[in-house]
Structure 1
Amino acid sequence: MQLLQVVCLLSSRQFMETSRYVLFAHMLINDTLQILSSVLLFLCVMAQVKFAVVLCVPLLVISTATFQNTTLILAAMSLERYVAIFYPLQRPAAWRSERIWIMVVSLWFISFVFPIIEFALKSGNPAVLGLTTPVLCKATTINSSLIQTLFRAAVSVLFFAVVAFIILFTYVRILLETRKLRQDRLSVRRAMHTVLLHGFQLLLCILAFTSPITESLVVLHTVWTREDIAFFNYFCFILVPRFLSPLIYGFRDQVLRSHMVKNFLFCSKNIKPFFKH
């Protein structure tokens, strides 16, 4: 689904000349990288596969950066709806379609800076001796020092606090605007609902940090193994929010939905049967 939507967005000039579609394509690409990297790391941890630190660190950086980048994209998409409602004719230069790539590059830069700084800090784990040391690739193994734990917690709180404030601010402003406008209320209400969905997605991302609490509760009330509990948390708090993005935006947008249907029908007509009667 995500790959189909990315192809539809990148293949149409109409979408690439609209800021919100560019940000949506950026979100799909980011979520795809997040799913691929996190699934690979999760399967390696579950199978107890160890490999060199030099291979583990880039995977952890990509997984962490794309996870944090999701929240930044939600904030950017909420601000884009805010700008579209309050500045429909004279948009700021940074939010125009020909310059939105500056915003996209900035989001990627910010999301990668903090994980790199975290991994650059010295690890307190004596088992990690060098770049060729085989380790179980997870963040608690590589980043086990106290300063790295505090840095990771501070960055997470900062990211989610800033994004939550932006989403709440844009939602309240758009909500107040619906009471003032007598015309074009439909587009304003759609923008308000979109921002509300951004808040719901942010809540799902925040729930990923509650995995230690949910693991404790599940252990007390069920007889699940540790592997089953880890898979439950990973599926509910990592995979599900990423799969919701194409469903929320892809099927709610009539233009993108119709374009996807046309591409799907075109591809299905071009598929020739392997066996001929």
Structure 2
Amino acid sequence: MADNNSVNNVFLQRPNDRMIIVQILVIIFLCINMLLILTFIKKESFHTSARYILFSVTLLSDSLLLFVSDILVILTYFQFAIQVWLCIIITIFVVMYTFVTPVTLTAMTLERYVAICMPLRHGQLCSARSTMYCILIIHGVSSAPCIIILSMFFASASLNFYKQSMICSVEAFTLYRWQDHVRSAVFQFYFLIMGITIAYSYVQIMKVAKAASGEKKKLTHKGLKTVILHAFQLLLCLVQLWCPVIETAALQIDFRLFINLRYSNYIMFSIAPRCLSPLIYGLRDENFFLVLKSLMPTSSCSK
């Protein structure tokens, strides 16, 4: 394993074009997400619809996570050390919101399942009030991995460790190999539960689609496409949960491989999944697209 000096040297020798590419992508996706959040705020009817409320949660979660993770990338790139207590706060935020988006996507899939397979109960189960409770549950479920990781750290770290400054990362709180195994097991457990939930919802919607006809059939097929897109986005988000395990194995082989792999993983599994939500609802959803179009400068000039 590389020592601290080699770590610093490799980071400092990384080409600037990588950092520029990351910053451009982050800025673009943050601007798109902010525009979609503004679209949600503008239309009052969206405020009473479960799927649009949950969609706004994913937008906020993705935007906050992109912003904070990008700050960590910049701090790491320039080898800027911060106090451990501040790193703990940032880690709580990053780990929790890493899970908020996939858990919310699972909730959105269940909302489509209820809408198509249980239409008579949809108004009751997916009301605005129920959705607010669901958001609280989502954040509670998403905070569990963070609690587990930090609990293991607090039980193992000495008091002197808290007085140090460090290059902040989630891996910094994994002091022993067994902690890494526990973290990996928790992440895979979440992957399994969310994967089963989406697969079950898809199968049930497929059964309704086969038995439906006319307008109902068109609605169910649209629901199936939405579930498939959710599944693909969820897969990208959940692969991110496996990245630390893969990166740790790469670090044992070669440090440059580790750096290249971490950069690629950040682009594909941290940034890319955060741009799919706009495609799923911002462009595919007719109601949302019309409101979004009305906010465009070209639409206001044509009136």
Q: How does 1:172-187 map to 2 (within 5 A)?
A: 172-183=203-214, 184-187=216-219
Aligned residues: 267
Number of the residue aligned with 1:207: 239
Q: How does 1:19-98 map to 2 (within 5 A)?
A: 19-91=50-122, 93-98=124-129
After superposition, the C-alpha distances for 1:212-250 in whole angstroms (9 at most, x for unaligned) are 647978xx9xxx775444222211111111111112221
Number of the residue aligned with 1:253: 285
| Counterpart residue type for residue 233 of structure 2 | Q
| Counterpart residue type for residue 55 of structure 1 | L
Alignment pair present for 1:243 and 2:267: no
Asked if structure 2 preserves the Cα contact closer than 8 Å seen for 1:38 and 1:63, the reply is yes
More helix per residue: 1 or 2?
Answer: 2
After superposition, the C-alpha distances for 1:19-53 in whole angstroms (9 at most, x for unaligned) are 11011011111111111121111222222111001
Report the identity percentage. Answer: 25
Question: C-alpha separation between the residues in 1 aligned to 2:35 and 2:68?
Answer: 20
| Counterpart residue type for residue 61 of structure 1 | I
Question: C-alpha separation between the residues in 2 aligned to 1:267 and 1:136?
Answer: 47
Question: C-alpha separation between the residues in 1 aligned to 2:92 and 2:35?
Answer: 26
| Counterpart residue type for residue 92 of structure 2 | V
SS at structure 2 position matched to 1:90: helix
User: Match for 1:166 among 194, 197, 207?
Assistant: 197
Shift, 1:146, TM fit:
3.8
Asked if structure 2 preserves the Cα contact closer than 8 Å seen for 1:178 and 1:189, the reply is yes
User: Match for 1:145 among 176, 189, 192?
Assistant: 176
Question: C-alpha separation between the residues in 2 aligned to 1:85 and 1:225?
Answer: 47
Sort the Cα spacing of 1:69 and 1:115 in 2 relative to 1 into closer, same or farther, 3 A.
Answer: same
Shift, 1:74, TM fit:
1.4
Alignment pair present for 1:8 and 2:52: no
Question: C-alpha separation between the residues in 2 aligned to 1:196 and 1:67?
Answer: 21
Question: C-alpha separation between the residues in 2 aligned to 1:205 and 1:124?
Answer: 29
Asked if structure 1 preserves the Cα contact closer than 8 Å seen for 2:109 and 2:230, the reply is yes
Could you tell me which runs of 5 or more consecutive residues in structure 1 were left unpaired when the two chains were aligned: 270-277
Shift, 1:160, TM fit:
0.8
Asked if structure 1 preserves the Cα contact closer than 8 Å seen for 2:40 and 2:47, the reply is yes
Question: C-alpha separation between the residues in 1 aligned to 2:257 and 2:148?
Answer: 35
TM-score by length of 2: 0.79
Alignment pair present for 1:190 and 2:222: yes
Question: C-alpha separation between the residues in 2 aligned to 1:196 and 1:171?
Answer: 8
SS at structure 1 position matched to 2:162: coil
Shift, 1:94, TM fit:
3.8
SS at structure 2 position matched to 1:48: coil
| Counterpart residue type for residue 198 of structure 1 | H
Structure 1 range deviating more: 153-162 or 85-94? 85-94
Asked if structure 1 preserves the Cα contact closer than 8 Å seen for 2:247 and 2:258, the reply is no
After superposition, the C-alpha distances for 1:95-129 in whole angstroms (9 at most, x for unaligned) are 21232100011101221233023212236466x72
| Counterpart residue type for residue 220 of structure 2 | V
Question: C-alpha separation between the residues in 1 aligned to 2:164 and 2:95?
Answer: 21
Structure 1 stretches of at least 4 aligned residues deviating more than 6 Å after TM superposition: 214-217
Could you tell me which runs of 5 or more consecutive residues in structure 2 were left unpaired when the two chains were aligned: 1-31
Shift, 1:145, TM fit:
2.7
Sort the Cα spacing of 1:139 and 1:256 in 2 relative to 1 into closer, same or farther, 3 A.
Answer: same
TM-score by length of 1: 0.86
User: Match for 1:116 among 147, 150, 158?
Assistant: 147
SS at structure 2 position matched to 1:27: helix
Number of the residue aligned with 2:21: none
